[in-house]
Amino acid sequence: MYNGNMKRIVILSLIVIMVFLFTALSSTSAMNNNENNALPPSISGQISNIIHYSNINEKEKVTIMITLKYKNQELLNKYLNDLQNPSSPLYHKYMSQSEFIKLFSVNSNEYYSIANYFIQNGFNVVTYSDRVSISITGSYYQFSELFNTKFGLLSAGSSYIASVSQVYYSGPHINYISNIVGLNNEFRSKIAPMFINSNGSQLLYGSDLQVAYQLKQLYSRGYPINSTIVIILWAGNAFPILYSPLVPSDITNYFNNTLPTGEPKPKIYGYPIGGAPYPGPSAANDPIQTNFESTLDLEMAGSTAPVANIVEVYGPSSNETYLDEAFAAALNNGSSFFPLKNLVAINNSRGEQDCNDSTWMQYEEEAAARGITVFAGSGDDGNANSSDSLFPATMAYNNFGTLAVGGAEMTLSGNPTENSTGTTVYYHRQYGIILSIIPSVLRGE
C-alpha cells in the first residue's frame, strides 16, 4: 500500500511514459507572430452573408474569452479513455491541476505573450492558472479596431450583436487559438423548471430527495467533508441595474428548518465574476426573479450533500462568455478562494438551443482528467412534449463530457412534512439520467 505522494508519482510516471510514446504528437509548430491573419467563423463567431443590420453603440463594453488549444491532444484523448478502462493501469487515476498543466497546457511564455498583446492594446485582461483561456474586456470600438472587423445589431427572432465582417488577428500564436466567445452574443440562456406547482407552493424539499435516493444509507458511511460543489448561474440583470442572485443567510435558514435534526449543514458561498454584485439582500428586489432558480439550486445541492461547501459562481448576465468564464473560475481559483478547493462536481441548470462551444468542451476535458464531474440540467427537453435538446446538457462525448440530468416524474407518499419525516414511499418514472448519480460522485467512484 503506498501513500498519496507515491501514488501520484506512479501515476505521473505512467503518463510521462505515454508522452514519450506519443512524441510526434507533443510538438507544437512555430507560429507566425506578425502576419495579419483571418480567423474562420467557427472560431470568431462571425455572421456571414448579412445584408441588413443596425449600427451599435461602439462605446459599450463587452467581455470575450479566447481559448487555446491543448498540446498533446491525442495523448489527452488516450488518457481520458484509459481513465474509463478497468483494464488500464490509469483506470480512475486522476491527475492534479499542476500535472494537467505540465502535460497539456501551452507554456507560460506563449500564454502570457498573448495576454500581454491585449494588455498593450488597452484591454483589461484576466488570466487563469491552467493557461487554457484568457478573458478580455474592452469596448466594441477597441475590438473592431484590433480585429479589423465591424459589429452590427442583427434581428432574427431576437436581437443580438455580432461581427458582420471578416475577423483578423495579428497578435502572437494565432494557430494556438481554438475559440473566441463573445464576439457574437446571440447565445441566450434560459433557466430549467423549478420544483413549484401552479399556485407557487414547493412540491419537494431537499430532505425528500434524501429519502427518494436513499442518501441516508450513504451518510451512514460518512459525509462529504471538505468536498466542494459548484453551481453555475448568473446575477439578476435588469439593465442597467444588477441584483445579487442569492442571500446566503436565507439558504442557511432553509437548511435549519428542513434538514433532519442532528444532520450537519452545508456551507454556502457566492463567487461573482465579471463585475457581478456580491451576495446580499439586493436579490429580494430582482424583478426578473433570477434569485428563485439560484436559491433552489443551492438548497437542493446542499440538502443532498451535508457538510460540503456549495459555491455559486455567477457572472453579470446569461451570455455564453460568462458561462465559460464561470467554468474557468471554478477550475482555477481554489488557491485564491478557499472553498473552491477539493472540487468534486460542477452543476449548471441553465440551457440554450443545441450548439458546439469548444471552450466548454476543453474545460470538460480538464475536469474529466482531474476527476471532477460536470452536470447540466436538461429539464424534460428531448422527452415528453419536447424534441429540443439543450446546451450544455448535449456536450457529451465517449470518454468525457457533461452528464445531463432530467426527465423524471416523481411521486412521494406519506404525511407531508418539511423535514421528510413523513415521507414513506417514493416512486419515479425515469426518462433519462437523474440525480441518483450524485451519491457515486461523492463516494469518488
**Model pLDDT, residue 287:** 87
369 has a pLDDT exceeding 90: yes
Amino acid at 198: S
431 has a pLDDT exceeding 50: no
Which CATH code is given to the segment(s) 190-443?
Answer: 3.40.50.200
334: its cell numbers: 481554489
**Model pLDDT, residue 187:** 62
12 has a pLDDT exceeding 70: no
Lowest mean pLDDT: which of 36-50, 83-97, 131-145, 406-420?
A: 406-420
**Model pLDDT, residue 442:** 39
Q: Where in the chain is the domain with CATH 3.40.50.200?
A: 190-443
Q: What are phi and psi of 115, to 5 degrees?
A: -60, -45
441: its cell numbers: 460522485
**Model pLDDT, residue 3:** 47
The mean pLDDT value of the chain amounts to 80
Does residue 240 have a cis bond before it (omega within 30 degrees)? yes
Amino acid at 73: Q
Q: If you average pLDDT over each of 50-59, 361-370, 435-444, which comes out highest? A: 361-370
Residue with cell 480567423: 39
CB-based burial label for 303 (10 Å; 0-12, 13-18, 19+): buried
Query: What does the pLDDT look like over 284-340, one tens digit per residue?
Result: 888 888 888 899 889 989 998 888 999 999 999 888 899 999 999 999 987 788 888
Lowest mean pLDDT: which of 198-207, 234-243, 267-276?
A: 198-207
CB-based burial label for 198 (10 Å; 0-12, 13-18, 19+): exposed
pLDDT over 90, % of the chain: 44
16 has a pLDDT exceeding 50: no
Please report which confidence band the pLDDT of residue 29 belongs to, taking 50, 70 and 90 as the band edges.
Answer: very low
19 has a pLDDT exceeding 80: no
Residue 393 · residue 402 · CB < 8 Å: yes
20 has a pLDDT exceeding 70: no
**Model pLDDT, residue 179:** 94
152 has a pLDDT exceeding 80: yes
pLDDT over 70, % of the chain: 75
Cβ-based neighbour number of residue 12 at 10 Å: 17
Please report which confidence band the pLDDT of residue 445 belongs to, taking 50, 70 and 90 as the band edges.
Answer: very low
Please report which confidence band the pLDDT of residue 388 belongs to, taking 50, 70 and 90 as the band edges.
Answer: low
Please report which confidence band the pLDDT of residue 379 belongs to, taking 50, 70 and 90 as the band edges.
Answer: low
Cβ-based neighbour number of residue 210 at 10 Å: 23
Nearest residue to 395 via CA among 354, 434, 366, 435 = 354
In sequence order, what are the beta bridge partners of 163? 151
Query: What does the pLDDT look like over 75-105, one tens digit per residue?
Result: 999 999 999 999 999 999 999 999 999 999 9
d(CA 144, CA 161): 12
3-state secondary structure of 157: coil
Average pLDDT over residues 390-418: 74
Average pLDDT over residues 184-200: 57
Query: What does the pLDDT look like over 109-141, one tens digit per residue?
Result: 999 999 999 999 999 999 999 999 999 999 999
225 has a pLDDT exceeding 50: yes
